[in-house]
Chain A
Amino acid sequence: MTKATTLDVPVGGRADPARMMEGRERRFAAALLAPAFIALMATTTFPLLHLGWTSLHRMDLAMPFMDGFVGLDNYRELLGDPRFWSALGVSLVYTFSTVILQVVLGLALALLVNGMKRGQALFRIVAILPVVLSPAVVGMVWRTFMLTPEFGVVDYLSMTAGLGSHNWLGDPSLALFSVVVIHTWQWTPFAFMVLLASLAALPEDIYEAARIDRASPWLCFVRITLPLLRPAIVMVIIMRTMVALTAFAAIFTVTGGGPGTATEILNLYAYRKSFTELSIGYGSALAVALLIFTLVITGVLFALRRAK
């Protein structure tokens, strides 16, 4: 390599034209990239850093005279805050139940539709509808149309089935269940579509080979389909986990975190603390905690993906 570089040095001592061209091209490329890069930094990285900086301050709009740098005080307070731990618990329950439901239901639907000879296109179109709706709209629709006691579709079905009328969103024991159902309803089609595409791409001949090898349909699924779908399933889990951990709009419009703190996920708690109680410094610390939490879980999932 050294030999090659020495050979590149021009004899006359003048700058190598090839290298000059390269440098000029690099500067030009940097100039082209700069606006996008600066915009990205300004809208993502800077707010993030500012959030971290704010979380080290006491910033209370109700008591501005107390504002100032407090170091890690907000975090210390957070560790002793039962509402933080409760919100973390709700976040965990919300995330894991919605992700598991989405993957299981999405996979079941994908298997069902993949086996259909006709009408697959129709299912794909129907499936995409919930995904393209805004979560806020979905929340409103469910709150008014589906879950209203006595008049909502779900409550009507519950009454018809002899289960009685329930206050689906007002009852603390049912509210979390209801928001989990709403999230699952909206996002299962995403898992369904990704898994259906992966299923359709699996070669047909290996299933014929498995039939010849006398594998039962169940063993075909466990020994062939699942291992081959694993990359897609893991990808769906990662993507849906990240979104579920930071869900906001649907819960905000349906319950606003209530009743009490029954559906208050960490994201909502940070929002309420910052913009309802106007304690922006502590709210920022909550947001940073959520960020760390999301990064850790994502890291674990990616490690699992790489394993084996």
Chain B
Amino acid sequence: MTARGLVQLEKIVKKHGSFEALKGIDIEIRPGEFFALLGPSGSGKSTTLRILAGLDAPTSGRILLDGKDVTGADARARDIAMVFQSYALYPHMTVAENIAFPLEMAKTPKAEIAPAVREAAAKVKIDHLLDRKPGQLSGGQQQRCALARAIVRKARLFLLDEPLSNLDAMLRLATRVELKKLQRSLGVTAVYVTHDQEEAMTLADRMAVFREGEICQIGRPADVFAAPNCIEVAAFIGSPPMNLLTTRSTAGGVLIGGRHVPVAASLEAGRAVVVGVRPSAVRFDPAGIPVTVEVVENLGDAAILDLTLDGTPLRARYDRFPLPREGETMAVSFAPEDIHLFDPTTGRRI
């Protein structure tokens, strides 16, 4: 019972004709973990979730739930709950009937259904809406109804397909926190698909970053953020994304703006490298490399400065007021530990 919800995907391939939507992915999700599948649209994350749910069959590969091979099993046989991006509520049933539906299908005794429905509805704070039809609910309430329908059955695995993407920004932030609390209190394994790296960063215990049908990196959000293992992940994680400058290495450093900047990694001199620096890691230092301020994006408590460094664009986070004016010249420097190095041909981290 304790190890309920172990998920293993082994070499999953999914082809649509000649197009390979998934190119052989491996994931292991531990019981009780909140696991995010992150990637841009068309990267294969939703396909992975659908295959995990049993809605689609993989072209090859194996799916194991709690150590048992369920590759050939239909969604009905997998004991999985899912929240759809569209919510997929039954339009002709009331909220209570929607939430009760999975219990009825599981042949739960009638006497147990009503209290279970009320409990699930109370957990997502829609117990006052039980008699409404989905058409009479707001987007946020529909989303909660879909959540209640998913949690009422206490399935071993909880799948969420971009559940927050149809909510407005304020509601999304609030629901995100509640979702995390809900998952913790239920202790259930959750797999969460999103294209929003902020959602994945804040919610997930671990995440897999997808790109073009492959997984670039799996790890804890903080680890992925601190050490992206390829250019794609570096460019995708973080807001605003990491600055990537193509340059050459020198002895013990790299050339940025014609100057030698020391790096932590040991590099042979003269090789082509891509230097990555997070906007928040750009330091303003009068003795540094001169840059020109092109645009100032004021966020209120900080600003994003769009700079040009020797002709190449560079973005930096700046939180000292007053803010510089557009057209002004400043100077920046980079600490060796803040510099990420990538191989321009393979895209891999050096």
Contact = CB atoms under 8 A, between A and B. Distances in A.
A79 interface: no
Contacts of B54: 211
A208 B76 contact: no
> Considering residues A203, A205, A212, which has the most beta carbons from chain B within 10 angstroms of its beta carbon?
A212
B92 A227 contact: yes
B144 interface: no
A215 B107 CA distance: 10
Interface in A213-260: 213-216, 219, 223-224, 227-228
B287 interface: no
Contacts of A215: 76, 101, 105
B106 interface: yes
Contacts of A210: 90, 101, 105
B88 A206 contact: yes
Contacts of B81: 212
A209 interface: yes
Contact of A205 (B80, B88, B102, B105): B88
Contact of A216 (B76, B86, B89): B76
A17 to B, nearest CB: 46
A14 to B, nearest CB: 51
A10 to B, nearest CB: 47
Contacts, number: 57
B90 A214 contact: no
A213 B105 CA distance: 7
Given A211-B55, A214-B105, A215-B101, A205 B86 contact: yes
Nearest to A230: B92
Contacts of A213: 101-102, 105, 149, 153
A200 B153 CA distance: 30
Contacts of A219: 105
A212 B90 contact: no
A111 B117 CA distance: 32
Contacts of B55: 208, 211-212
Contacts of A205: 84, 86, 88
B289 interface: no
Contact of A214 (B53, B84, B86, B106): B106
A264 to B, nearest CB: 43
Contacts of B67: none
Contacts of B76: 211, 214-216
B105 A228 contact: no
B151 interface: no
Contacts of A208: 55, 75, 84, 88
A213 B100 CA distance: 10
B91 interface: yes
A228 B75 CA distance: 23
A223 B92 CA distance: 9
> Considering residues B74, B89, B92, B153, which has the most beta carbons from chain A within 10 angstroms of its beta carbon?
B92
Given A211-B55, A212-B80, A228 B92 contact: yes
> Considering residues A210, A213, A215, A216, which has the most beta carbons from chain B within 10 angstroms of its beta carbon?
A213
B80 A209 contact: no
B107 to A, nearest CB: 10
27 contacts: A203-B86, A205-B84, A205-B86, A205-B88, A206-B88, A206-B91, A209-B84, A209-B89, A209-B90, A209-B149, A210-B90, A210-B105, A211-B54, A211-B74, A211-B76, A212-B53, A212-B75, A212-B81, A212-B82, A213-B102, A213-B105, A213-B149, A214-B76, A214-B102, A215-B105, A224-B92, A228-B91
Interface of B: 53-55, 74-76, 80-82, 84, 86, 88-92, 101-102, 105-106, 149, 153
